[in-house]
Structure 1
């Protein structure tokens, strides 16, 4: 086969499947850098687990009688909900509760993490940065 035909054959080959969640996979930290969360697959969903926490963050959770912060899934059951947007539940460790949430990729190194309670009437957002 000539080089031109090889090039043409390669161009016609189907592109490998790209995981739509791949861009969000990685390690992210909250605005105060008190917690680092590693995102990854959990079944067919996206989740995020605490891999690092400041002593203050760990003590805040422990003082309220909740399980240790390291290893806790903060992001739970997120499903793609549009381009660069996921919906799921965010667990707030020092409250011991999970709330409806969306995560939106602002750019390759920035997430807007938004959690809402009372049916979406009261919401709070944080900007998380990639480590």
Structure 2
């Protein structure tokens, strides 16, 4: 009986001491604006993300990055457009990256925070405190 109690106590202590596995941010994410979906993947040691689809892409498969502040990039297609680059860190928060917003052509400093397995918060800032935060949900 003592052995069973010791084994149970040992298992409980081991479970409490083990860190929880962090959610994996890679995959396809639904944005709250324009029906956008962004695929987040690993790019070396960093996270990056590309625009897979949006209401603009669905309306015109040849839609271009026409709002880009850099005139030489305005002919890029919106489909597979790099939107997230250079995010490092983890296991639940990645910083130091850039967020490109094709709606206004601006690039912002960003942070990605996993709130659970299927939800993340993306924060983009011109300069703190001038920031905007969106909640993205995983596409199953």
TM-score scaled by length of structure 1? 0.72
Task: Report the CA distance between 1:62 and its aligned residue.
Answer: 4.7
The size of the alignment, in residue pairs, is 110
- 1:113 lines up with 2:122 in the alignment: yes
Q: Note closer, same or farther for the CA distance 1:23–1:35 as it changes in structure 2 (3 Å cut).
A: same
Task: Report the CA distance between 1:120 and its aligned residue.
Answer: 1.3
Moved more, 49-58 or 90-99: 49-58
Q: Which runs of 5+ in 2 are unaligned?
A: 1-20, 69-73
Whole-Å separation in 2 of the counterparts to 1:95 and 1:61: 13
Aligned to 2:8: none
RMSD: 2.6
Aligned to 2:88: 79
Q: Which runs of 5+ in 1 are unaligned?
A: 1-19
Aligned to 1:44: 45
Whole-Å separation in 2 of the counterparts to 1:44 and 1:32: 28
Whole-Å separation in 2 of the counterparts to 1:71 and 1:46: 15
Aligned to 1:68: 77
Task: Report the CA distance between 1:94 and its aligned residue.
Answer: 2.4
Task: Report the CA distance between 1:98 and its aligned residue.
Answer: 1.2
Higher radius of gyration, 1 or 2: 2
TM-score scaled by length of structure 2? 0.67
Kept after mapping to 2: 8 A contact 1:35/1:57? no
Task: Report the CA distance between 1:53 and its aligned residue.
Answer: 1.4
Kept after mapping to 1: 8 A contact 2:23/2:91? no
Which residue of 127, 133, 136 maps to 1:125? 133
Aligned to 1:54: 55
Q: Note closer, same or farther for the CA distance 1:115–1:70 as it changes in structure 2 (3 Å cut).
A: same
